[in-house]
Amino acid sequence: MSRTPQAIAPAPRTVIAAALLDATLVVIFAALGRSSHSRDATALGLLETAWPFLAGLAIMWLIVRAWRAPGDVIRTGVPIWSGTVLFGMLLRALTGAGTAFSFVLVTITVLCLFLVGWRLISTLIRRRRA
């Protein structure tokens, strides 16, 4: 009877850093959107724009159990990205905020670059060092 080695759990600081990076990138996405539409650069305005996507991000972290492999592109990054977009847009629609097709496309693209992109870069760096 052979045993397969258990995956090593990431350090708590790695999980916290990944969660904070994801949240920061969602806030940056919201700030860029507000800036490109000449919206007020207030903390409340930024929160108003970011909260649906931050909520979607939190939901997806729980659904995919992102703390198990926060840097994994396929198991974690892709579901977090797609779910953040989906839940963010649903919450925007439910609260009467805009969900224009062009906004959805920009959201899909930018959040993919942000939420999957850092994981891909991290994976490439780790592989290169190994």
pLDDT of residue 82: 99
pLDDT of residue 83: 99
* pLDDT higher than 50, residue 4: no
pLDDT tens for each residue of 10-69: 999 999 999 999 999 999 999 999 888 777 778 898 999 999 999 999 999 999 999 999
* pLDDT higher than 80, residue 81: yes
Residue 80 φ then ψ, to 5°: -65, -45
Residue 39: both structure tokens together? 């919206």
Burial level of 59, CB count in 10 A (0-12/13-18/19+)? middle
Average pLDDT across the chain, whole number: 93
pLDDT of residue 6: 56
* 25, 56 Cβ separation under 8 angstroms: no
pLDDT over 70 percentage in the chain: 95
Residue 50: both structure tokens together? 């970011």
* pLDDT higher than 90, residue 103: yes
